[in-house]
C-alpha cells in the first residue's frame, strides 16, 4: 500500500492547480491539496479542515437521511440541507389540512418542531487506511472465497471501534476499484425534527423545467434539528430528548461572493465513474439511460395528471414524482452531453493510449493486458440480463399494489410491518396505480414480452385474451392489497399467511422478483469478470499516470472539492454570469404555471426592497451562484464555504451542459449551482418571520 499511495501522491499538487476537478479524501489533504488550496485563497490549514485529534470543519458536516448532505449551523443542533433533500420528510408530515409542501412551515418554538419518523443524521467519526490488512487477508482469492475472506477481515477491523463506543457503527469500504480500503466509523442520530421550510413555490421554484439548469432562482433549503438524550448521545425519539450540542457548528457569512473567490464544498458525493470505459459509456447511453428515460417519462405523465387533478394525490405522490423526474432529466442531459462532448470517442482514445503503454513492457502486459478485453466481454455478456432487469425495475416493479403485496409477504412477523403498511397507504392512490399498471405492463409486453412472466402471461393472454386493462381491473378487484381496510380484514384471518401468499398482487410481485433475481444472477457472473477488469484497469491507470492528480470515484464517503466562483460560456455568443438575484424570480413568474408561481409575501418583500443586511452592495438580493467545484448526487445540501470555512451557500445542483460530468469532468463547462446563504436567511427572517433561528447562528459580516 505504501508504494500504491506513493504513486497516487507523487506530483499531485502542482498538476492540480490547472483545474478544479477532484473529490478528495480528507485524510490526504495535507499531502495532496492544501498548498494549492492556500494559493487559491484558502486561509485554513489541512488540520483545521480535517483532524483526528481535535474538532475540525468535518465535524459540522453530516449525512442527511440516506442520500444527501447537511451542515450544523448552531450550538443547539440546528441543521440546514436542501429543500429537495427534506422533501420526503416534509411530505410525510403533510396532509390536505396541513400542507407543508405548498404552504411551508416555521416552528416558532422548540415545542413546535415536528419529529420525523425514520429520518436520521450521521456524523463521520473516523477514517483509517486498512488496505494492507485487507489485501493480506484476501490475497489470491476471488468470487465467493474473496467475499467470505473480506467479510471476516471486515468483522475483525470493525469490532474494536464498535466495542469501544456503542453508538458507533463501522464498515470497510473499497476505493479505486478495490485497490485501496478504508475503515470508516459513523455515529447516527435518530431523533430529527422538522423546524422549517419555505413553500415549494420558493424551495422548488422552477421545478422540473429549471432542474439541472442555469441561470437558477431556487431557494433550495430546509431546516431540521438534531435531538439527543440528556447526556448528548444518540437516542430514539422521546419527549425528554433535548437539542444536540455539537462539537462544531459552521459560522454563517453574509459578506457575499465575487467572481474568482475561492470556495470549497465538503459532503457525501454518491457515485461517479471517472474510469468508465468506452464500452460502458455506450451501455450507459444506449441501454440504461434509454430504458429509464422512456419508462419513467411514461409513468410521470400519469402521475402528474392525477396530481394536478387532486390535491390529496398531489401530496401522496409529490416525493415519488420528484424522485423519478430528477434522475429522468439527468439521464436525458447525460445522453445529450455524451453526444456534444464526444465522450465515447474520447474514452476510446484513452484506452488506445493505455493499450500502447501496457505493450511496452512485459510486466505491464502481464498485470493489465487483459483488463479492457475483460470489461468489453463482460458488458456484452450481461447485456440481455441487464436489459430485462432494467425493464422490470422501471415498469412492473413500479406497480405499487405488487410492492405492498411483496412487502407483507416478506415481512411476516416483523414488528415494523404495521408501520410500513400505514406509510404505504397514506401515500397511495389505487386509481392512479391502476393507470400506471396498465401502461407499465404494456411497455414490458412490447419491449421484453410477457412470456418471461408465466403468471402474468397466463392471466393476460389466456384469461383476458391479451386485454391488459381487463387484467388490471380484475387484479385490483380481487386483491386484498387494493385498500388498507381489505388488507386488515385478510390479516386477521387465522390462515392469513397462506391466504395472502395466494393473492394475485403477491403472485405478481413474486413473479417479478423471481425473474429479477434470475437475471441478476446471470448478470452477476459477468460482473465478476467486469470487476476484475476494472480493478486491473484502474491500477494500470494509476501507474501510467504517475505524477498526475488522482482521486477515487465517489462512493458516498466524505470528500472535499474546491474551486472558484466563476461564470461560464455554454455556447458561442452566450455568457452566463456567476450569480442571479430575486429580480429573476419575478421575471420568471407565471401564475398559470405551477412551476413558476411566486408567493404574494415574497413579491411584497421584493417590491418594498426589504432585504436588510442580506442585500448585495448594489441593493439587489442574491439568489444563487455557481462555482467550479466537482460534485454529484449526494452532495445536495453540502455546505459551500469560503476560505475561512464560513458557510456562504448550499450546493444543490449541477448544470445542464456538463451532465456527463460523472464520467468526464469538463473544467470549462462544469459548475456547481448553489443557493446563496443570504437568500436562505432572508426567507427565514423576512418571509418566514422566524428570527429565533437567525439568532441561533453565528453570523459573520
Q: Which member of 20, 59, 220, 653 is catalytic? A: 220
Scan for cell 458525493, then name that residue.
269
- Closest to 289 measured CA to CA, from 254, 236, 333: 333
Under 8 Å between Cβ of 480 and 538: no
Quote the distance between the C-alpha of residue 407 and its chain's center: 24
Q: Hey, how many other C-beta atoms are within 10 angstroms of the C-beta on 287?
A: 16
Find the Cα–Cα–Cα–Cα dihedral 243, 245, 248, 250, rounded to 10°: 30
Alpha helices of 127-195 — where are they, by DSSP H?
131-138, 143-164
Query: Is 84 assigned a catalytic role?
Result: yes
Instruction: Quote the DSSP letter at residue 565.
Output: B
Helix (H) or strand (E) holding 559: strand 559-564
Q: Which member of 74, 200, 278, 636 is catalytic? A: 636
Q: Which member of 84, 222, 278, 324 is catalytic? A: 84
Burial 16-50 (b: 16+ CB within 10 A, else e): beebbbbbbbbbbbeebbbbbbeebbbebebebbb
In angstroms, the CA 228 to CA 115 distance is 13
- Closest to 454 measured CA to CA, from 514, 392, 523: 514
DSSP strand pairing (252-253 vs 699-700): parallel
Query: Is 220 assigned a catalytic role?
Result: yes
Q: Is the peptide bond before 115 cis (omega within 30 degrees of 0)?
A: no
Query: Is 636 assigned a catalytic role?
Result: yes
Show Cβ contacts of residue 666 under 8 Å, excluding neighbours closer than 6 positions.
341, 657, 658, 660
In angstroms, the CA 246 to CA 145 distance is 43
SS (H, E, C) 12-36: HHHHHCCCCCCCEEHHHHHHHCHHH
Show Cβ contacts of residue 101 under 8 Å, excluding neighbours closer than 6 positions.
87, 90, 91, 94, 199, 200, 315, 318
Which of the residues are catalytic?
A: 84, 220, 636
Amino acid at each position: 500500500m505504501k508504494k500504491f499511495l506513493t504513486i497516487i501522491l507523487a506530483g499531485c499538487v502542482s498538476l492540480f492547480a490547472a483545474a478544479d476537478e477532484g473529490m478528495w479524501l480528507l485524510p490526504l489533504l495535507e499531502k495532496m491539496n492544501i498548498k494549492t488550496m492556500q494559493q487559491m485563497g484558502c486561509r485554513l490549514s489541512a488540520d483545521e479542515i480535517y483532524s483526528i485529534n481535535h474538532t475540525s470543519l468535518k465535524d459540522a458536516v453530516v449525512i442527511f437521511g440516506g442520500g444527501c448532505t447537511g451542515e450544523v449551523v448552531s450550538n443547539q443542533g440546528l441543521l440546514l440541507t436542501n429543500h429537495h433533500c427534506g422533501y420526503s420528510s416534509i411530505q410525510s408530515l403533510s396532509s390536505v389540512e396541513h400542507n407543508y409542501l405548498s404552504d411551508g412551515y416555521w416552528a416558532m418554538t422548540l415545542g413546535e418542531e415536528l419529529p420525523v419518523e425514520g429520518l436520521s443524521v450521521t456524523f463521520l467519526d473516523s477514517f483509517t487506511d486498512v488496505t494492507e490488512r485487507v489485501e493480506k487477508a484476501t490475497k489470491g482469492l476471488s468470487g465467493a472465497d474473496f467475499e467470505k475472506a473480506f467479510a471476516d477481515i471486515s468483522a475483525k477491523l470493525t469490532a474494536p471501534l464498535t466495542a469501544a463506543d456503542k453508538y458507533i457503527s463501522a464498515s470497510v469500504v473499497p476505493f479505486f476499484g478495490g485497490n485501496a480500503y478504508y475503515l470508516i466509523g459513523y455515529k447516527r442520530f435518530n431523533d430529527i425534527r422538522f423546524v422549517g421550510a419555505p413553500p415549494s413555490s420558493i424551495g422548488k421554484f422552477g421545478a422540473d423545467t429549471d432542474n439541472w439548469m442555469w441561470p437558477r432562482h431556487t431557494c433550495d433549503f430546509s431546516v431540521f434539528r438534531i435531538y439527543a438524550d440528556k447526556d448528548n448521545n444518540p437516542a430514539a425519539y422521546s419527549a425528554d430528548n433535548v437539542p444536540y450540542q455539537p462539537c462544531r457548528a459552521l459560522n454563517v457569512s453574509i459578506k457575499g461572493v465575487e467572481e474568482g473567490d475561492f470556495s470549497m464544498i465538503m459532503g457525501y458525493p454518491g457515485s461517479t465513474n471517472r474510469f468508465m470505459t468506452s464500452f460502458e459509456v455506450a451501455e450507459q447511453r444506449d441501454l440504461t439511460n434509454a430504458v429509464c428515460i422512456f419508462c419513467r417519462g411514461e409513468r410521470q405523465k400519469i402521475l402528474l395528471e392525477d396530481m394536478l387533478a387532486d390535491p390529496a394525490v398531489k401530496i401522496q405522490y409529490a416525493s415519488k414524482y420528484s424522485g423519478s423526474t430528477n434522475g429522468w432529466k439527468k439521464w436525458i442531459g447525460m445522453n445529450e452531453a455524451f453526444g456534444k462532448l464526444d465522450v465515447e470517442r474520447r474514452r476510446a482514445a484513452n484506452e488506445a493510449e493505455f493499450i500502447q503503454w501496457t505493450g511496452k513492457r512485459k510486466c505491464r502486459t502481464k498485470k493489465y493486458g487483459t483488463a479492457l478485453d475483460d470489461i468489453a466481454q463482460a458488458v456484452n455478456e450481461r447485456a440481455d440480463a441487464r436489459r430485462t432487469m432494467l425493464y422490470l425495475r422501471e415498469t412492473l416493479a413500479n406497480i405499487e399494489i405488487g410492492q405492498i403485496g411483496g412487502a407483507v409477504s416478506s415481512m411476516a412477523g416483523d414488528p415494523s410491518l404495521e408501520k410500513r403498511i400505514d406509510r404505504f397507504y397514506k401515500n397511495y392512490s389505487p386509481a392512479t396505480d391502476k393507470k400506471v399498471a396498465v401502461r407499465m405492463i404494456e411497455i414490458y409486453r412490447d419491449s421484453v414480452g410477457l412470456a418471461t412472466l408465466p403468471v402474468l402471461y397466463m392471466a393476460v393472454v389466456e384469461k383476458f385474451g391479451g386485454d391488459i386493462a381487463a387484467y388490471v381491473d380484475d387484479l385490483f378487484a380481487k386483491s386484498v392489497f387494493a385498500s388498507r381496510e381489505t388488507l386488515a380484514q385478510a390479516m386477521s384471518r387465522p390462515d392469513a399467511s397462506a391466504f395472502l401468499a395466494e393473492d394475485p398482487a403477491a403472485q405478481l410481485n413474486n413473479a417479478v422478483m423471481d425473474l429479477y433475481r434470475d437475471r441478476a444472477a446471470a448478470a452477476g457472473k459477468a460482473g465478476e469478470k467486469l470487476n476484475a477488469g476494472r480493478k486491473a484497469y484502474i491500477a494500470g491507470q494509476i501507474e501510467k499516470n504517475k505524477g498526475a492528480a488522482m482521486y477515487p470515484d465517489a462512493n458516498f464517503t466524505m470528500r472535499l472539492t474546491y474551486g472558484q466562483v466563476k461564470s461560464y460560456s455554454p455556447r458561442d455568443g452566450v455568457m452566463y454570469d456567476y450569480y442571479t438575484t430575486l429580480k429573476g424570480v419575478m421575471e420568471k413568474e407565471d401564475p398559470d404555471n405551477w412551476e413558476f408561481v411566486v408567493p404574494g409575501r415574497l413579491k411584497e418583500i421584493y417590491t418594498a426592497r426589504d432585504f436588510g443586511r442580506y442585500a448585495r452592495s448594489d441593493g439587489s438580493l442574491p439568489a444563487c451562484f455557481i462555482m467550479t467545484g466537482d460534485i454529484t448526487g449526494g452532495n445536495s445540501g453540502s455546505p459551500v464555504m469560503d476560505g475561512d470555512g464560513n458557510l456562504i451557500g448550499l450546493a444543490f445542483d449541477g448544470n445542464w451542459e456538463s451532465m456527463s460530468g460523472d464520467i468526464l469532468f469538463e473544467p470549462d463547462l462544469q459548475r456547481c449551482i448553489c443557493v446563496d446563504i443570504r437568500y436562505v436567511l432572508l426567507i427565514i427572517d423576512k418571509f418566514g418571520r422566524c428570527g429565533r433561528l437567525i439568532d441561533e447562528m453565528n453570523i459573520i459580516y
